[in-house]
Amino acid sequence: MAHPVLLLVLLLSSTAISSSKRIQPKFSAIFYFGDSVLDTGNNNHIPTLAVANHVPYGRDFPGKKPTGRFSNGRLVPDLLNEKLQLKEFSPPFLDTKLSNNDIMTGVNFASAGSGFDDQTSQLSNTLPMSTQVDLFKDYLLRLRDIVGHEEASRIIANSLIFISSGTNDFSHYYRSSKRRKMDISDYQDTILQRAQAYVKELFDLGGRRFCLAGLPPFGCTPIQITLSRDPERACVDEQNRDAQVYNSKLQKLLPTLQGSLHGSKIVYLDAYKALMEILDDPAKYGFTETTRGCCGTGLREVALLCNALTPMCKNVSSYVFYDAVHPTERVYRLVNDYIVKDVIPQF
């Protein structure tokens, strides 16, 4: 009979192993698809004005350099890659200096200004989701050249495919008289059909584990508040309600989608809740300004992006938003903590 102390040690060690696996499953790679909250610099390599490769972006990024990230520092793809011990940053696929190791541990296809709807990208000449998926096919060829067909398939099957898009689609919906001819509910369904089609396409290319983010409360972004002309600077309730309806539809869709893609695991990321918790109780997290961006987004100004001439706030850590649309690194860190705690364990 085994010694009781030995049994206890074996029991404790096996519990520790299972709990560590539950907290941090090993992904061979992470791939990011979506818009500016994920884009780590792809737009630097295409002819578009939707770029953040200039000051004051990147002022708190290592080396204090603008890299194309729409924030003062790192984004969730960087923070999540580091937390899951893959690498320090999430390299954009269009970067010509990608190393073999970058290719093997995952790259970023996201493009600021894009959406699930191809028409959304036409306005800013960025990479819609359809193009991002096509780039993933190019990526697969490169990966197979490096590791061979069999190992490439294993890497993709054991990777995480992270998708966050749709905000630009709906922002443009509210501003476009042409699109508003379609009922908001019908437009939501159209976007959901496209999202579903892209997940299926990525599944057919070998992906098995997917994280799909819902819409954030984009009615609370400084640009939407300014455009609403509300003197109280309150969030735009109609837009937030529409985001919540879309999110509930997405949540209902995912189990059905997972059931139709045998061997897949699809987890919903509640981006609305993650950001709204901060906006509802900013003082709890040390924020004092929730309706204006740190750089240049004053009460009358509706410029989306910052440039070298826009006035800067003194204390960026007290701001939720860096410009008229995008959160500060501190917010992304809180969102990343939420992802690691509530989303990753579901895989």
DSSP string, 276-328: HHHHHSGGGGT--EEEEESBS--SS---SS--TTS-B-S-GGGEEESSSSPBP
Task: Give the pLDDT score at 123.
Answer: 84
- Torsions phi, psi for 209 (to 5 deg): -120, 120
SS3 assignment, position 236: coil
| Cβ pair 250, 268 in contact under 8 A | yes
| Cβ pair 115, 176 in contact under 8 A | no
Q: Catalytic positions, please?
A: 36, 323, 326
Q: Which two tokens stand for residue 145?
A: 């050249």
Report the chain's C-alpha Rg in angstroms: 21
| Cβ pair 64, 193 in contact under 8 A | no
DSSP letter assigned to residue 344: G
Residue ranges of E strands in 20-91: 30-34
Per-residue pLDDT tens over the stretch 194-234: 999 999 999 999 999 999 999 999 999 999 999 999 999 99
For 172, other C-beta atoms within 10 Å of its C-beta total: 20
Task: Give the pLDDT score at 5.
Answer: 46
Nearest residue to 326 via CA among 173, 224, 240:
224
Domains of the chain: 26-346 (3.40.50.1110)
Rounded Cα gap, residues 335 and 346, in angstroms:
16
Rounded Cα gap, residues 192 and 173, in angstroms:
15
Task: Give the pLDDT score at 1.
Answer: 46
Q: Which amino acid is at 104?
A: M
Task: For 200-269, give the DSSP string.
Answer: HHHHHTT--EEEEE----GGGSHHHHHHHT-TT----HHHHHHHHHHHHHHHHHHHHHHHHSTT-EEEEE
SS3 assignment, position 158: coil
Indicate yes or no: pTM above 0.95.
no
Q: Which two tokens stand for residue 204?
A: 């057919």
Per-residue pLDDT tens over the stretch 146-198: 999 999 999 999 999 999 999 999 999 988 866 677 899 999 999 999 999 99
Task: Give the pLDDT score at 6.
Answer: 43
Rounded Cα gap, residues 241 and 181, in angstroms:
19
Q: Which two tokens stand for residue 14?
A: 């096996």
| Positions in the chain whose pLDDT score sits under 70 | 1-25, 177-179, 297-303
Helix (H) or strand (E) holding 155: helix 149-157
Task: Give the pLDDT score at 299.
Answer: 56
